[in-house]
Structure formats: C-alpha cells, structure tokens
Amino acid sequence: MRVYLDHNATSPLAPAARRALDEAWSSAWGNPSSLHAEGRLARAALDQARTALASFASCSPTEVVFTSGATESINAAIRGAWARAGLRRRIVVGAIEHSAVLETARALAGCTVTEVPCDTNGVVDPARFLDALGDDVAVAALQAANSETGALQPAAAAASACRAQGIPFLCDAVQAAGRLPLEAYREASMLAVSSHKLGGPAGIGLLVVREGTELSPAITGGPQERRRRAGTESPALAAAFAAAALEPPPSNLASLRDGFESALRAIVPDVRIHAEGAPRLPNTSNFAIPGADGELVVIALDLEGISVSTGSACASGAVEPSHVIRAMGYDESEARRAVRVSLGAATTDADVERLLEVLARVAARLRASRAARG
C-alpha cells in the first residue's frame, strides 16, 4: 500500500467525481452546442456543473469560463488583459507565483514585469504590492496560497486595491480551492481554479471573469463559453470537477500536519520548517533537514512507498532549486534541501506515522553519508 502525500501536485479522483464522470460519459456525451436531444442533455449537464462551480467560486454562472486547466486559465487572464491594455505596459506579480504566471508575464514582448518580493515566511508584503501598482499597470496577479509552502498571501487586499484603481487583477486560487472558502477573493476581477488539485479529473479548470472585465480571448474559433474560450466543452469533465468541488473540505488536515511537524522536530531537532510563522494551508508542510538533499529524500521515500516532492522544477534535464525558497532569502543549498509533504482527504494518522518512521531512517542515513564524505 503506497502512502500518497503529494496532493499539491495532483490529487486522486474523489469517489463522487468518479461517479459523476461515469454517469456523464454515458448520459451527456453529446456536443453541448448541438440543437438535438443529445446536445440538449450535454448542455444541461454542463449548465448544472457551471452553476455548482459558480457557487463554489462565489460568482455568477455567466462569469465561469471552462478551460483545460489552471495554466490555460492564467494564460487567458494575463494575455487577454494584456491585449486590451493599450499603453499600459507593466505587469505586477508576486515573486513566488507559480511559473504559469511568472513565465507568461515574462514572455510578453514589450512588457516590464514588477515582481514583488516576499518576507522570510514566504508572504508577499501587501504594502509593497500596493506601492507597485500604478496607472501604467496592464494586469496584476497574486496567488491565494503558495503551492510549495502553503503560505497564504494577501490576495484579497490586493484585489480590493486593484479594483479601486481599475486594474484587472488575477487571483491564482489553485491551491486554496477546496481547502479554504473562495468568498474572500470576490473582488478579484479574475480567479483561476484547477480541477485536478481538488479531487476532480485533470484536463479541466476554470477562469472566473467578473462582469465588466475586458479580455481578448486567448483561444479563438467557435462561439463557446460566450466567445471567451473557443472549443467544444466537456460536460463529463465539468460534472466531475463540480462533484469534487462540492465535497466538504476535510477538517482534520491542520491537526495531522501540526502533529507531523512536532514529531519531526522531536526526531530531527535542527529541521527547518519553511513558512512556519505564516498562516498556511492546513495540508502543507515544507521543511529542510540539514545534510539531507531534498531530491535524495524524495527518492528514498519513494523506494519505501511514500510519495512526497521537492519544490524543485526539472528544467531541461537539470533540477532547479525552488524559486520560492530562494525568494524567502535562503541560499541555493537550503532550497535544494526543501521537501514538501501535502496531505489530502484520504490521509490518515497511520500514513503520517509511516512517513515519520521512514523519514527518521532516511534522514539519519543521508546525514551519516554526508558526514562521512566530510
């Protein structure tokens, strides 16, 4: 039996989502744009999912645009606002945004990207974010919670400030969705959510585009999604996404995570727990064990049946140290030691105990071999 503790990367399909998927593949397989009975059934399933997801995201159904996932939602938001920005040639983002935000902003020709730094707890300074705004800003973006550390960001305050100044604002709510209520981000003109991070299937996400937000469509073609995103929608994926979103968030994650961290500290007293001083998502723990490379920890745990991750991204075959841990002021070797454990709805006390037992052995072994090498 494997122990899966990498829910911030993706989550297994929730049973309710699987049932919705099975049901919709057989009953709502038609093209929702077709006029005949099969099309109408597909349209009804899609509309039902849209209504459920609108209430989940605290918006109206007409403000929900289905996409293939959050990366597409983010591209649609940033590129779509940029295309309408006229002489506004600057984009303001948090320095610890997901690469979907950072790389999209950096890729725009003629765009100056202002990256607002975070503190040692991995929280973007709200005053500095607000200071960075101005009448030359085409679009601003701040995530609700960080995927690596779980640190919550001042996205609601940033959304209000942008609204007051008429700046389109994107909140990447991928990691908060399904773990925290999204109502707090009502003032964001755009909100990105991904299905596979909350127990739905991969291949679908949504972008909330609030009434009055002007975007050029990033994908052109047919008139689907009220001309905001062309391409035939998938009612089955939408139904499963909605079913997963409607599941009540698990209530025991913070106590499991806090219990894990105090037990880890008892085993490895010099462990550093990143973002420990910040309000965090209840399911996420990011830590570094001195003398133990994060990648080696991940590989050793995998061999023992436990799935966790490093914050590092694999870019062209080379493992890059996490930009998030670096932005928090740590050096490259600390960033290379970072390990992320992210719990989910099915995580049990026994899973956490097994992780601690294996981690104690793995850490001792890696530290001993590091010490032997000098």
> Which residue numbers are catalytic?
314
Q: Given the complex with ligand PLP, which of 218 and 359 has the nearer CB atom?
A: 218
Options 29-37, 65-73, 81-89, 229-237: segment touching ligand PLP (CB under 6 A): 65-73
Verify binding: residue 344, ligand PLP, rule CB under 6 A.
no
Residue 140's closest CA among 113, 108, 122?
113
Q: Considering only residues 256 through 295, tell me which ones interact with ligand PLP, judged by CB under 6 A.
A: none
Q: Given the complex with ligand PLP, which of 143 and 149 has the nearer CB atom?
A: 143
Contact with ligand PLP (CB under 6 A): which of 21, 42, 65, 69? 69
Long-range (24+ apart) CB contacts under 8 A made by 254-261 are 254/282, 254/283, 256/343, 256/347, 256/349, 256/352, 257/282, 257/283, 257/284, 257/285, 257/341, 257/343, 259/349, 259/352, 260/285, 260/341, 260/352, 260/355, 260/356, 261/285, 261/287
Verify binding: residue 100, ligand PLP, rule CB under 6 A.
yes
State the minimum distance, in angstroms, from the CB of residue 327 to ligand PLP.
14
Q: Considering only residues 187 through 216, tell me which ones interact with ligand PLP, judged by CB under 6 A.
A: 194, 205
Q: Given the complex with ligand PLP, which of 96 and 137 has the nearer CB atom?
A: 96
CA angle 335, 260, 262 (to 5 degrees): 90
Residue 215's closest CA among 202, 226, 204, 228?
228
Verify binding: residue 234, ligand PLP, rule CB under 6 A.
no
Residue 241's closest CA among 203, 188, 281?
203
Verify binding: residue 337, ligand PLP, rule CB under 6 A.
no
Residue 222's closest CA among 214, 232, 209, 235?
232
Contact with ligand PLP (CB under 6 A): which of 98, 179, 274, 336? 98
- Measured from the Cβ of residue 124, the count of other Cβ atoms closer than 10 Å reads 25
State the minimum distance, in angstroms, from the CB of residue 147 to ligand PLP.
3
The rounded Cα 239 to chain-centroid distance in angstroms is 20
Verify binding: residue 45, ligand PLP, rule CB under 6 A.
no
State the minimum distance, in angstroms, from the CB of residue 71 to ligand PLP.
3
Q: Given the complex with ligand PLP, which of 175 and 312 has the nearer CB atom?
A: 175
**With contacts defined by CB under 6 A, how many residues of the chain interact with ligand PLP?**
12
Q: Considering only residues 146 through 185, tell me which ones interact with ligand PLP, judged by CB under 6 A.
A: 147, 172, 174-175
Contact with ligand PLP (CB under 6 A): which of 70, 133, 177, 328? 70
- Measured from the Cβ of residue 251, the count of other Cβ atoms closer than 10 Å reads 8
Provide the binding-site residues for ligand PLP, judged by CB under 6 A: 69-71, 98, 100, 143, 147, 172, 174-175, 194, 205
